[in-house]
């Protein structure tokens, strides 16, 4: 083992802690409901089995203009479906989470968006579409991910989970 390998091995924990700390400094700290799901290998069925759920704090690089028809009040109804590709659906939304939160490809993130004119919060549902890694001297230093809007309906079980979580204020 070379000197550089020994130094990298001894510093990896500290680099991960610094990256986790930067999650709270960079971007807007957002609490989201994360659903770990399993979907068939063709990803063509809307049958989603929830493996686990929990609240995760992460920093999202949210675009300035979000179409209002992508927000919804219930996870049971799909958002507007169009025949053509909408630019907003293919632009990545970059997120950073703590290393120990272990965000994975395919996870569904549900953000509650509040509007004073509406009684119930609006829901913005995102799906983790890609994981990006920072690697230094054969060690995984950090992970970022890219999300895209999830426009399909989700099962009743998910609506019950969303209703269970209250925003801390």
Note down the domain range covering 81.
Answer: 3-164
Write the pLDDT tens digit of every residue in 87-111: 666 677 888 888 888 888 888 898 8
d(CA 147, CA 127): 5
Report pLDDT for 169. 37
Q: For residue 38, what are the CA distances in angstroms to 61, 65, 91, 106, 155? A: 26, 31, 24, 8, 13
Report pLDDT for 97. 84
Report pLDDT for 81. 62
Does 53 reside within a domain? yes
- Mean pLDDT (whole number) for 60-67: 78
Does 62 reside within a domain? yes
Report pLDDT for 150. 83
Does 70 reside within a domain? yes
Does 169 reside within a domain? no
Q: How many domains does the chain have?
A: 1
Average pLDDT, the chain: 79
Does 88 reside within a domain? yes
Does 94 reside within a domain? yes
Does 13 reside within a domain? yes
């Amino acid at each position: 083992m070379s000197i550089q390998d020994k130094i990298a091995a001894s510093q990896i924990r500290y680099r991960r802690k610094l990256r986790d700390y930067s999650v709270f400094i960079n971007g807007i700290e957002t609490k989201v409901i994360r659903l770990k799901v399993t979907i068939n290998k063709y990803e063509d069925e809307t049958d989603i089995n929830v493996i686990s759920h929990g609240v995760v704090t992460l920093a999202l690089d949210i675009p300035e203009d979000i179409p209002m028809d992508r927000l919804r009040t219930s996870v049971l109804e799909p958002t507007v479906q169009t025949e053509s590709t909408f630019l907003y659906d293919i632009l990545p939304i970059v997120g950073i989470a703590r290393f120990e939160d272990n965000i994975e490809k395919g996870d569904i993130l549900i953000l509650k968006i509040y509007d004073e004119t509406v009684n119930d919060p609006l829901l913005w549902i995102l799906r983790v579409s890609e994981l990006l890694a920072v690697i230094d001297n054969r060690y995984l230093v950090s992970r970022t991910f890219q999300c895209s809007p999830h426009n399909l309906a989700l099962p009743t079980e998910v609506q019950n989970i969303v209703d269970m979580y209250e925003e801390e204020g």
